[in-house]
A = this chain, B = another copy of it.
Amino acid sequence: MKLCFAKPLALMAKKEVKAIDSSTEERIKLAAHKLFAQKGYAGTKTRDIASEAGINLALLNYYFRSKEKLFELIMREHIQQFFQGMFQVLNDENTSIQQKIETLVSRYVDTLMLKPDIPIFVLSELRNSPMNLAENIQKNMQIKNSYFMKQIKEGISNGTIDNIHPVQLMSNLISLTVFPFIANPILKTIHGIDQEQFNTFMLERKKLIPLWIAEIIKPKTTINK
């Protein structure tokens, strides 16, 4: 086992932020983003990242110390992004429950149509990684205490929505939206459709999911009471 310090990492505090998008560091990150999402951590080789980024292999270690460090960085960004997006929507005090649901579904469908590999990548790596996610998530964990959750609970006691555990509701929302992207290959094979038809299918869902959720949380008029 070797130790590897002393070698100064590229100093982050650049005087001028020169063309960030095409800086070497950024190119490596982009390439890593793409390949990690596509093939997972173990399936991605440092040489693949280097050649995808069009850089020398050594630069990866120069900028990010190690494959693992680079991976964690990227993983954090993904998780951050996911929760940030959700957080913004769920904590808007000026929108109704139904509006929040519509926005959430709409956003995620749009995002995932562009980057369909993200959810399976994140969730797949999450299951083993001893990575301290708690740390990263806890900050954004205010979803449990979000304004949306308050609205739900209020709606339940008002009787304007059916009695449903908020966690169940959230799970339904995310499941219905995200899972089809994860099961994409199977869905396409089972139903004999191509990518374009799949996208149409998801756009249709964008409209339907909020309606379905509305049905689910609509108060049931029980006869025998």
* Given A126-B185, A127-B117, A183-B123: A144 in contact with B175 (beta carbons within 8 A): no
Contacts of A24 in B (CB 8 A): none
Nearest chain B residue, comparing its CB with the CB of A39: B128
Contacts of A40 in B (CB 8 A): 40, 42-43, 124
A134, A175, A191, A204: residue with the most chain B Cβ atoms closer than 10 Å: A175
A163-191 interface code vs B (CB 8 A; 1 in, 0 out): 00101100110111011101111110111
**Is A143's beta carbon under 8 Å from chain B?**
yes
Nearest chain B residue, comparing its CB with the CB of A178: B179
**Is A212's beta carbon under 8 Å from chain B?**
yes
* Copies of this chain present: 2
A205 adjacent to B127 (CB under 8 Å): no
Contacts of A59 in B (CB 8 A): none
A120-134 interface code vs B (CB 8 A; 1 in, 0 out): 100110111000011
**Is A215's beta carbon under 8 Å from chain B?**
yes
Nearest chain B residue, comparing its CB with the CB of A82: B186
| CB < 8 Å neighbour of A186 from B123, B187, B201 | B123
Distance, CA A180 to CA B175, complexed state (A): 7
Q: A165-B204, A168-B204 are in contact. List 17 more A-B contacts (CB 8 A).
A: A39-B128, A40-B42, A43-B128, A120-B123, A120-B127, A123-B185, A126-B185, A138-B189, A143-B190, A168-B205, A171-B176, A171-B187, A172-B176, A172-B212, A179-B179, A215-B215, A215-B216
- Chosen A-B contacts, 25 in total, with CB atoms closer than 8 Å, are A38-B128, A39-B42, A40-B124, A43-B43, A120-B120, A120-B124, A124-B124, A133-B185, A134-B189, A138-B189, A141-B192, A144-B190, A144-B191, A144-B192, A165-B204, A167-B201, A171-B187, A172-B176, A172-B212, A174-B179, A174-B183, A176-B176, A212-B216, A215-B215, A215-B216
Smallest CB-CB A-B distances: 8 pairs: A175-B179, A42-B43, A42-B42, A179-B179, A124-B124, A175-B175, A215-B215, A126-B185
